[in-house]
């Protein structure tokens, strides 16, 4: 049964700073998800990745399968990036892909 740890829990940055959020999990996985939850509560799926690195705009997600670790980076952060960032992995390797276990989230606040 997988467990997910995210760090930091809270992060305050100045506009323009480079942000890193970390996620570690305990059991081998087929894919890891990064999600963004805005203050209004809606959830957006940012990335699903199973190896290497993915980039979308100013967001970069990396995963190291051997280390069971993933990072989400935000370059040139902006106040509109302020949100809770959540990583999620399948509960069991090879199990139902929708049965995800979620990290507690990292609350990011970017100050102008």
Which one, 17 or 65, has the nearer CB to other proteins? 65
Asked if 88 touches other proteins (CB under 8 A), the answer is yes
Q: Which of 39, 42, 57, 112 binds other proteins (CB under 8 A)?
A: 42
Asked if 35 touches other proteins (CB under 8 A), the answer is yes
Q: What's the closest the beta carbon of residue 112 comes to other proteins, in angstroms? A: 27
Residue 3: closest CA among 97, 92, 96: 92
Specify whether the CB–CB gap between 62 and 71 falls below 8 A. yes
40 to each of 20, 29, 47, 84, how far by Cα in Å? Answer: 23, 30, 20, 11
Listed ranges 10-18, 19-27, 36-44, 62-70: which one lies at the site for other proteins (CB under 8 A): 36-44
Helix (H) or strand (E) holding 92: none
Helix ranges (H only) for 3-109 are none
Residues forming the site for other proteins (CB under 8 A): 30-31, 33, 35, 41-45, 48, 50, 86, 88, 91, 95-105
């Amino acid at each position: 049964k997988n467990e997910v740890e995210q760090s930091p829990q809270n992060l305050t940055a100045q506009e323009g700073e480079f942000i890193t959020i970390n996620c570690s999990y305990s059991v081998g996985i087929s894919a890891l998800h990064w999600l963004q939850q805005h203050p209004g509560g809606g959830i957006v799926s940012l990335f699903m990745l199973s190896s290497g690195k993915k980039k979308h705009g100013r967001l970069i997600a990396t995963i190291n399968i051997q280390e069971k670790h993933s990072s989400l980076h935000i370059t040139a952060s902006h106040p509109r990036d302020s949100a809770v960032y959540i990583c999620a992995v399948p509960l069991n390797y090879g199990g139902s892909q929708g049965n995800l276990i979620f990290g507690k989230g990292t609350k990011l606040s970017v100050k102008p």
